[in-house]
Amino acid sequence: MSNKDKNDNNLANTRRSFMKKSATAGIIAASSAPTFFMKNAFAADGSFRNMPGMGKSIKLGFNVPQSGAYADEGADELRAYKLAVKHLNGEGDGGLMNTMKPLSLKGNGILGKKVEYVTGDTQTKSDAARASAKRMIEKDGALMITGGSSSGVAVAVQSLCQEMGIIFMSGLTHSNDTTGKDKRRYGFRHFFNAKMSGSALGPVLKEEMGTERQAYHLTADYTWGWTQEESIKETTEALGWKTTATVKTPVGAGDFSQYITPILNSGADTLILNHYGKDMINSLTQAVQFGLRDKQVNGKNFEIIVPLYSRLMAQGAGENLKGILGTTNWNWALTDAGSMAFVKSFGAEYGFPPSQAAHTCYVQTLLYANACEMAGTFYPPAVIKALEGFKFDGMGNGETEYRAEDHQCFKNVLVVRGNQNPTSQFDLLEIVKEVPRSQVEYDASIFGGELGPYKV
Amino acid sequence: MMKLTLKNNLFVMLIFSVVVLTAPIWLSPIGANYPDLLQKFAIFGIFAIGFNILFGLTGYLSFGHATFLGIGSYSAVWCFKLFSMNVLPGIVMGTVIAGIFAFLIGYVSLRRSGIYFSILTLAFAQMSYSLAYSVLTPITNGETGLQLSSEDPRYLDALFSVEVTEGLPSTNLFGQLMSGYPGFYFCATLLIIGFYISLKIFRSPFGLKLRAIKSNQTRMRYTGFNTRPYLLTAFIISGMYAGLAGSLMAVTDPLAGAERMQWTASGEVVLMTILGGSGTLLGPLFGVTIIKYFENIFSAMNTSTLNEFFSFLPEFLQSIMVSISQHFVGEGWHLTLGALFMLVVIFLPGGVMEGVTLINKHVRLKLGLRYDDPSVAQSEPSGIEAAPASLTDSQKEEKK
């Protein structure tokens, strides 16, 4: 063996042993990492993740879509959050804190600590939303995460928050799964859901369109679209309608013409658009351009239904939305004290009325703050217990209850129609009926799923 | 005798390991030392290192590498669902299945080179994305993303009667949970191993052949050399790196979504590699750090952070600075990244690594030290700075 070969052998040996060493070093480093980063958010001494301690302020994390198909909703949500923070800290006119009953908030922050906030962009993608939620929890020390304008994102972030032991107050999410099969102990939803939309729409549809219709569904291909299609189908089939076809469309497709052409020859006389945000604006506009609404099928006028409506979408769809039926969680034209107070302070701040997304996000923030005050601590299990079964009023939807079994709020649902003669650029939805809470209630066990533990 | 230079693998690996494992410490001044971002650095580091083996060495620009990232994630999550929450089977399965797909896609795509190869890989990637997004919904759960559920069978865990916790189980390495810092150290260890393999490839005859393909494939063929098996091997290796990165994403956060396979994700790794310096060992890692830092930190800045940052200035200057710079942070982070990318490409075509080399040279000349210019034929091309300029330089090494 030459000298050089020996050297090479030596080198190979050291390399090998070096690899071993570095691997061992890695494992040792991993196992000796500080224990407070372990899964258990709660240590034995009653401390919990991101515990505010003696600090003078606490942070809330606002995770909203700032880009993508739901960006309009996200922008409005963020406005509402900023307004809520102002009101919680005792600035501004107090908004809904003047009308909420029962109220434990004092206008000096939460439990005497000033409220600050951090923001993140969900991009309406589960991955991005979880990454920004993690950043807010791990880096910024957010005590609560809220926001989102997509059920896919809400479900993903909610399960992350459960793992991390951080309360998640979901924003705009309408899928049955959020408080159904994917419900979590740490997730709370104020917004209504597809099942409630179906129950509210049913009687109105019967009255206006009769019992013999052929429905054609175009459905956004993710958890919200699926459950809405299911719930609306259930309702319409109970009325005696037939379902011609259900077609899934990708989110953010932009061009829906390839999905609309087949409807013309399908024999259907009703189109149900399970779309939201810019998707709904595009698909509805294209459906109208294809002349669907001027058609007569089976001796009836062709009708379009948009089960989930929002004013922001109505603004985008313009003329095309006139006369089209749907449901909404809340509308700024409501005349109860809570709604009026909220519209007034939002309008004073930003110069235009809030959307339903803004409303639900604002209310969620106040509800979380109020629950902390009620519990007298930020300790998540105590806050969760304060929220579970909490009954309140004066927040714009009449008497409302956070059902303990699935963390879903139960309240009145609005059936609306695109306004035929709008008096202003915001007066786009006409309230057809305020469906009472009792009519939209359902058994919590029908969707399955488990809330999971209080302590994680 | 072993000399402590960058040509010595052991020395390089030692420095590299120390730098990676101490990342939580030296990243803290710039606010990047939280587990999620650290994990991203390590995971995308693996992804970019693997991509660089293909693009940096052979010059074949794959525009669909995110496919393998996605496949790795889906495989790992399915492994968690079906077999065990232990991460080892998951990452092995993710890497192997990504390798199989890389073989299939590479076998077809590598029949063409240049722009046609890029378009082919892009087409495959878009196909996989659409499949995952809507057609294969039962396997991928579409846009909602594949998630764990408490009803999953987990046959292996059941076999070894692993204790069932209340709520969803977490990914673990023989009991050590894989979220937070332990997750980062696990990814970092794999990054170090991945870097070592890449270093060996760069400095091996195989790596040399790949470089020869980049420099003149036609000439290589004329000499009777069949290049395709080498290309395919490089493609599979780099696909497996991507699969490993994808499965690590699932390890640190057990959820897989189709958006991981979108063309923007494929484009991101190309940007990372070019920004850092393609064909260099460390370049892609610089690219990863810069892009992920921008994505996570710059995108989260708002006017109040800026006000704080500029608070040392007089008030009127502060408000001017804030009003100018607010367009470059928050939602505008893409703008900053774009500007940075342009600057790098215009002034440092070799990426950040070229800048590092220039500074290194400058400092050494100033200090009167000997400087080994990697572009001038020396005893051995180091490979850590830049790819050898010509084939003849490298051939010298092979003859030795």
Asked if residue A180 has pLDDT above 80, the reply is yes
Q: Which CATH superfamily is domain A57-192+332-411 in?
A: Response regulator (3.40.50.2300)
Most confident range (mean pLDDT) of A14-28, B225-239, B285-299 is B225-239
Taking the CA of residue B185 and the nearest CA in chain A, the distance in Å comes to 5
Q: How far is Cα A344 from Cα B10, in angstroms, rounded to an integer?
A: 69
Locate the domains of chain B by residue range. 32-266
Locate the domains of chain A by residue range. 57-192+332-411, 195-328
Q: Of A359, A327, A295, which is closest to residue A73 (Cα–Cα)?
A: A359
Render pLDDT for A215-263 as a digit per residue (tens, 0 to 9): 999 998 888 999 999 999 999 999 999 999 999 888 877 889 999 999 9
At residue B93, the pLDDT reads: 95
Render pLDDT for B303-324 as a digit per residue (tens, 0 to 9): 777 777 888 888 888 888 888 8
Mean pLDDT of chain B: 85
CATH fold group of domain A195-328: Rossmann fold (3.40.50)
Asked if residue A199 has pLDDT above 70, the reply is yes
At residue B400, the pLDDT reads: 39
pLDDT > 70: percent of chain A: 90
Render pLDDT for B122-151 as a digit per residue (tens, 0 to 9): 999 999 998 998 788 888 887 778 888 877
Q: How far is Cα B44 from Cα B48, in angstroms, rounded to an integer?
A: 6
Chain A residues within 8 A of B145 when measuring between CB atoms: 126-127, 152, 156
- Residue with token string 């390798």: B99
Please tell me the least confidently modeled range out of B196-200, B214-218, B378-382: B378-382
B255 in contact with chain A, both atoms CB, cutoff 8 A? yes
Report CB contact under 8 Å: B182, A18. no
- A195-328 shares the fold of A57-192+332-411: yes
Burial of residue A90, with CB atoms counted within 10 A of its CB: 0-12 exposed, 13-18 middle, 19 or more buried: middle
Render pLDDT for A40-59 as a digit per residue (tens, 0 to 9): 556 556 678 888 888 899 99
Report CB contact under 8 Å: B145, A126. yes
Render pLDDT for B96-120 as a digit per residue (tens, 0 to 9): 999 999 999 999 999 998 899 999 9
At residue B367, the pLDDT reads: 83
Render pLDDT for A3-45 as a digit per residue (tens, 0 to 9): 444 444 444 445 455 445 454 444 444 444 443 444 455 655 6
Which of A7, A119, A156 has its CB closest to that of B145? A156
Contact yes or no for B164/B84 (Cβ under 8 A): no
Report CB contact under 8 Å: B179, A11. no
Q: What angle do CA B39, B44, B46 make, to 5 degrees?
A: 100
Render pLDDT for B345-385 as a digit per residue (tens, 0 to 9): 899 988 999 999 899 889 988 887 766 555 443 334 444 44
Most confident range (mean pLDDT) of A72-76, A87-91, A278-282, B291-295 is A87-91
B40 in contact with chain A, both atoms CB, cutoff 8 A? yes
Interface test with B, best of A22, A60, A124 (most B CBs within 10 A): A22
Report CB contact under 8 Å: A159, B176. no
Query: Which pLDDT band, with edges at 50, 70 and 90, does A391 fall under?
Result: very high
> What average pLDDT score do residues A114-130 get?
88
Q: How far is Cα B63 from Cα B124, in angstroms, rounded to an integer?
A: 9
Chain B residues within 8 A of A151 when measuring between CB atoms: 144
pLDDT > 70: percent of chain B: 90
Asked if residue A318 has pLDDT above 90, the reply is no
Render pLDDT for B143-180 as a digit per residue (tens, 0 to 9): 778 888 877 888 888 888 777 766 678 888 888 888 88
Mean pLDDT of chain A: 86
Contact yes or no for B292/A128 (Cβ under 8 A): no
Chain A residues within 8 A of B166 when measuring between CB atoms: 452-453
Render pLDDT for A98-120 as a digit per residue (tens, 0 to 9): 999 899 998 899 999 999 999 88
H/E run at residue A248: strand A242-249
Report CB contact under 8 Å: B35, A135. no
> What average pLDDT score do residues A350-359 get?
93
Residue A412 CA: distances (Å) to CA of A330, A393, A398: 9, 12, 7
Q: How far is Cα A439 from Cα A399, in angstroms, rounded to an integer?
A: 14
Please count the CA atoms within 13 angstroms of the CA of A29 that sit on its side-chain side. Answer: 21
Cβ pairs A/B, distance under 8 A? 146
Report CB contact under 8 Å: A450, B150. yes
- The pair of structure tokens assigned to A28 is 């040792």
Q: Which of residues 123-142 of B touch A (CB under 8 A)?
A: 133-134, 137, 142
Render pLDDT for A260-314 as a digit per residue (tens, 0 to 9): 999 988 889 999 999 988 889 999 999 999 888 888 888 889 999 999 988 888 8
Does the complex come out with an ipTM higher than 0.85? Answer: no
